Every structure is written in structure tokens, then in C-alpha cells.
Amino acid sequence: MSLNAESTAFRSALEVIRAVEPRVADAIGAELADQRESLKLIASENYASPATLLTMGNWFSDKYAEGTVGRRFYAGCQNVDTVEALAAEHARELFGAAHAYVQPHSGIDANLVAFWAILADRVESPALKKAQVRQVNDLTEADWFALRRELGNQRMLGMSLDAGGHLTHGFRPNISGKMFDQRSYGTDPATGLIDYDRVAEAAREFKPLILVAGYSAYPRKVNFRIMREIADSVGATFMVDMAHFAGLVAGKVFTGDFDPVPHAHIVTTTTHKSLRGPRGGMVLCGPELADQVDRGCPMVLGGPLPHVMAAKAVALAEARRPDFADYAQRIVDNAQALAEGLLRRGTTLVTGGTDNHLVLLDVSGYGLTGRQAEQALLDSGIVTNRNAVPQDRNGAWYTSGIRIGTPALTSRGLGTAEMDVTAELIHTVLSQTTPGANADGTPSKAKYVLDPAVADKISKQATDLLAGFPLYPTITLS
Ligand code: DSN
């Protein structure tokens, strides 16, 4: 594709949008300008390719397509079948999975599909068999009542939130916490690492139906072979949510015991984080759970989004190219360089470093809460997010941590030398920020003091750093 084709496509699209609602066209242009100028270190964000972005803006959006490929509840789905089948084929080939379901709209949706596939397989199917009926509508009122109680009375064991687990792994503010009786495994307080013996002990005591592995703020690899052995030892279904590190699995940075696909009964992911695709979700599994997974819509999902499934096909095709493995390795090299740069400057890191795409800073050493640090960094052109650290004394709102990740900056082409500069910028901001006070003089967990001249200087240095690595270099909007 030539330089001009991408620019022409986006410029033309904006012209069409501007004719209807110019403020939206302006906001789209402003968002590109903001993303170009800021040092994006949010571990869950990335930059999708122009091809992936363009695939989402078309008439596929207008089509209803409930059902699965070749078996729809609407007529006229032949072209949707083409893109959904392509996305699933690319996903199976890329991850070496027997089955791929590409309809989930997000990570939470993918997890809900997985939970209900497991519940259907482990709880509903045996109940139907026992009652000698084919489907739930054929159950007596009494049997249906008993099944509903049974479905709502199952156990899940997942990683605790402050150790880096995810809200959708059975925590009360999320639907999963209302569906399941949940217990958490944490990390070793001394090392910050998962203690597999403790996980096994918790599994033996709690006897969960589902053992969940996966994280959104744990900076280390997980040994999925050991986790599977633990699941097997208590008869649990082993589920891995690889939303954060799917790109590292796709790029063969995580292999063997660290690749979840050969070890888990079911794997869920988003497609837009380290995988660098469109916003969305996906489920991978073996043949045993495939039929139940394919019932995701209408079980828990609204109608599939064909334009997004088409974009998943494009992004997954990109991830199957040989250069994606190089990209995935550079994500980890960059995260390690960033961690080393911060450690050299005296920053405290949870687990003392990283072996994936993210680094978790404990900013209490700077005398700050995560919220104060996040805002001071933002003032300085560095976009991060605050995050709890293990045994966090500041709770989930203010926190004591800052989570940073390298997928986005690696997509822009920044390398290990630039990560050292980034570490210097972060350290300068944090060491020059002090906690603020409330109006009554009491210490505030949100307010902070940072000399605007320092923030401006760091912002300028961040912009200078990024100038050598233009974002979407083929696209000029004016
Ligand atoms: N929002 C994603 C993250 O930032 O990790 C996961 O939900």
C-alpha cells in the first residue's frame, strides 16, 4: 500500500464525517494529535494498523449475524461468514488451538462466554442427562429450579486483585463475583511471585469448579503446566485469561510451560492489547468445549459485530507474519530495559523487575499515592495508570502503584535506549512531586505539588523523544 492510499482514506473519511457533524471529525483528528504527542505507557493499550482501523469503518457494521458460520438466525450472512471464518482460522493457526470463537466484543464478554461454557458442560449437561431431556425447556419446573440453584452455587479460584488479578475473575463488583463463590490466591509477600504450593493448597481446600490464571498487573510469567496439574488434582476446569500477554504468546516469546494454549481447557483474550488488533475478545478451546463456547451469542453476547470480526481477521493475519515475533520480543526487551533504568535510579518495582510487557512501580518510596503519581506524570506528557500493589495500604482507588507497559511505544519503534530516557523522565517527575494537602491542612491522597516548569520541561523532552518515532507516519490529515 502506498503512502498516499492511507492518508487519502482517512482524509476522505474525515471529510465525509465533517459534512454531518464537524465536532466529531475534529475530535477524531484531535485524538490522533494527542496520541502522537504523548508517551503512551498504558500496559493494555496499543496502536492498531491502518488496515485494521479501516476494516472497522464500513457496512459490515449494519449486518445482524446471530448464530455461527453457516448456521445463522438471519438471512444474507454469506460475507459475514467469510470474515468470521477467516478470523477463526487465523486465530487457530496463530495460537495452535483446535477451536476459536471470535464473536466476543471485549475481554469481559470472552470471560463470560468461557464461564458459561464451563457451567453448561460441567453442571447443565449432567443435569439434562440425569433428567433424560435434551434441553432446558424440557425440564420440569422442579428440575429447572434445582438446576438454577446449582448453576449459582459453583466455586472459582483466581488471582487476587492486589496481586495483579482481574476484576472479571470472580470479584464482587463484577458479575463474575455475583455468579461464583470465589477465593483468591495471592503472591509471596517476600518475592511478589506466585507461590504454586500455596495455589495447590488453596485448590485442595476450596475445591473450585474453575481455576483461573491470568492477570492484568503481574509482571512475571506464569507456569501454566503447573497450574494445569493443580487444576487436574482437584478436578477443576483450567481457564487462562491471556488478554494482556496474547501478543507474547502469538509472537512465541511465551512458549512451553508459559504458553497457556496447550495447557488450559479454555483460553480467553482481548484482541487489542499486546496483540495489536481491534478492540474485542476471543475464546480458544479444544473440541470438548467448542459447542458450548459457540453458544456465546445469545447466551451472554449481543449480536456479533461483523466489522470488528473482519478487523480481527486482518490483525490476526498481521500477527502471523514473521515480523510479529520480532515485535513481541522487542516489547519484552523494552519492558526489561525500562525496569532496569528505573531500578538503577532507585525506583521500587513489584517483584524487582519484569519478564513480560509490564512494569509495576511501587511509588510509596517517592512518598506518593498512585493517584498523585499518575496525575503528575500526565501533566508531564506521560500517560500511565495507577494500580494497586500487593497488600496495598491505599486501596483500589488511590493505590500505591503505577503500572506501565511497552506494547504501544514498541509499535512506534522506540527501543531499549529510548526506554532508559523514559525511565529518567518518569523518575524525574516522581522525585520532584510532593504530596499535597486538603483545604483543612490534612494530607491528601489525591493532591500533589509539581512545579509546572518541571512538568513542561519533561513534556517537551517526551515530545522530543517521540519525534524520531512518528505515529502512523503514512497518515497526514492536513
Ligand atoms: N482495562 C484492562 C487493563 O487496563 O488491564 C483490563 O480490563
> What is the pLDDT tens value at each position of the chain, 478 positions in all?
555 899 999 999 999 999 999 999 999 999 999 999 999 999 999 999 999 999 999 999 999 999 999 999 999 999 999 999 999 999 999 999 999 999 999 999 999 999 999 999 999 999 999 999 999 999 999 999 999 999 999 999 999 998 999 999 999 999 999 999 999 999 999 999 999 999 999 999 999 999 999 999 999 999 999 999 999 999 999 999 999 999 999 999 999 999 999 999 999 999 999 999 999 999 999 999 999 999 999 999 999 999 999 999 999 999 999 999 999 999 999 999 999 999 999 999 999 999 999 999 999 999 999 999 999 999 999 999 999 999 999 999 999 999 999 999 999 999 999 999 999 999 999 999 999 999 999 999 999 999 999 999 999 999 999 999 999 999 999 8
Model pLDDT, residue 478: 82
Cell numbers describing residue 319: 500477527
Question: Which option is the CATH number for 60-319: 3.40.50.1970, 3.50.50.60, 3.40.640.10, 3.40.190.10?
Answer: 3.40.640.10
CA 369/CA 315 separation, integer angstroms: 37
**What is the distance in A from the centroid of ligand 1 to the CA of 134?**
39
189 closest CA partner among 397, 389, 396, 394? 389
**What is the distance in A from the centroid of ligand 1 to the CA of 38?**
19
320 closest CA partner among 103, 93, 83, 53? 93
CA 19/CA 9 separation, integer angstroms: 16
Q: Is the pTM of this model over 0.85?
A: yes
**334 with 358: CB under 8 angstroms?**
no
Residue minimizing CA distance to atom 4 of ligand 1: 44
Distance of CA 238 to the CA centre of its chain: 19
162 closest CA partner among 446, 404, 445, 396? 396
In sequence order, the β-bridge partners of residue 212 are 239
Supply the CATH classification number for the domain 323-467: 3.90.1150.10
The residue to mutate among 175, 216, 269, having the most atoms of ligand 1 within 8 angstroms of its beta carbon, is: 216
CA 211/CA 159 separation, integer angstroms: 9
**What is the distance in A from the centroid of ligand 1 to the CA of 396?**
14
Report domain extents, the chain.
Answer: 60-319, 323-467
Residue minimizing CA distance to atom 3 of ligand 1: 44
| Ligand 1 close to Cβ of residue 44 (< 6 A) | yes
Model pLDDT, residue 262: 98
Spell out the alpha helix ranges (H) of 137-223.
Answer: 141-151, 175-179, 196-206
**What is the distance in A from the centroid of ligand 1 to the CA of 107?**
9
CA 366/CA 433 separation, integer angstroms: 8
Q: List the catalytic residues.
A: 64, 66, 241, 270, 273, 279
Q: Which atom of ligand 1 lies nearest, measured to the CA of 168?
A: 7
**229 with 238: CB under 8 angstroms?**
no
Which H or E run contains 223?
none
The residue to mutate among 44, 242, 384, having the most atoms of ligand 1 within 8 angstroms of its beta carbon, is: 44
161 annotated to bind ligand = yes
Cell numbers describing residue 213: 490464571
Handedness of CA 60, 248, 49, 1 (dihedral sign): negative
Q: How crowded is the C-beta side of 205, counted as CA atoms within 13 Å?
A: 11
Model pLDDT, residue 221: 98
CA 171/CA 182 separation, integer angstroms: 7
